[in-house]
Amino acid sequence: VIRHYVVCSTPQSQYYLAEKHLFSTIPELINYHQHNSAGLISRLKYPVSQQNKNAPSTAGLGYGVLMWEIYSLGKMPYERFTNSETAEHIAQGLRLYRPHLASEKVYTIMYSCWHEKADERPTFKILLSNILDVMDEES
């Protein structure tokens, strides 16, 4: 079972993850997002498809977006744009803005995940190291 979560808030301004959908297979999850106009997978399909499918750091793209969603308290990436406009903006080199809750150092980590060339994006090992460094510096 594949669980799809959404960030929700309480009246006391606390946040939690809530189950949004359950999928039995990855293709079912992909199909849902491809046919849902708000689906992130359909929004990122074009830029990712232009990259080398075998690049080990391609998954970092999604991790950067996940970080952005967390620091923006669950906002929809590129919420003002259609899927085709989103793909066009990304192809032009435009990226998501820095959420107010993200420090410059945290945003630098996010931004590194969105490098145009997949082989220039950090691996998860590098991401972990960078995140631990920021945690040490900011605590």
The tens digit of pLDDT for each residue in 98-131 reads: 999 999 999 999 999 998 888 888 988 899 999 9
What are the DSSP calls for 74-95, one per residue?
A: SPPTTTTS-HHHHHHHHHTT--
Q: Which residue has the higher pLDDT, 36 or 9?
A: 9
This prediction's pTM = 0.60
User: Average pLDDT for residues 12-25, to the nearest whole number?
Assistant: 76
Average pLDDT, the chain: 78
pLDDT at 8: 74
pLDDT band at 33 (very low <50, low <70, confident <90, very high): low
**pLDDT tens digits, 64-90:** 888 998 999 888 888 888 877 887 888
Euclidean distance between the first and the last CA atom of the chain, given in angstroms as a whole number: 37
| Residue 93, C-beta contacts closer than 8 angstroms, at least 6 positions apart | 116
Domains, the chain = 1-36 (no CATH), 39-138 (1.10.510.10)
Residues forming beta bridges with residue 12, ordered by sequence position? none
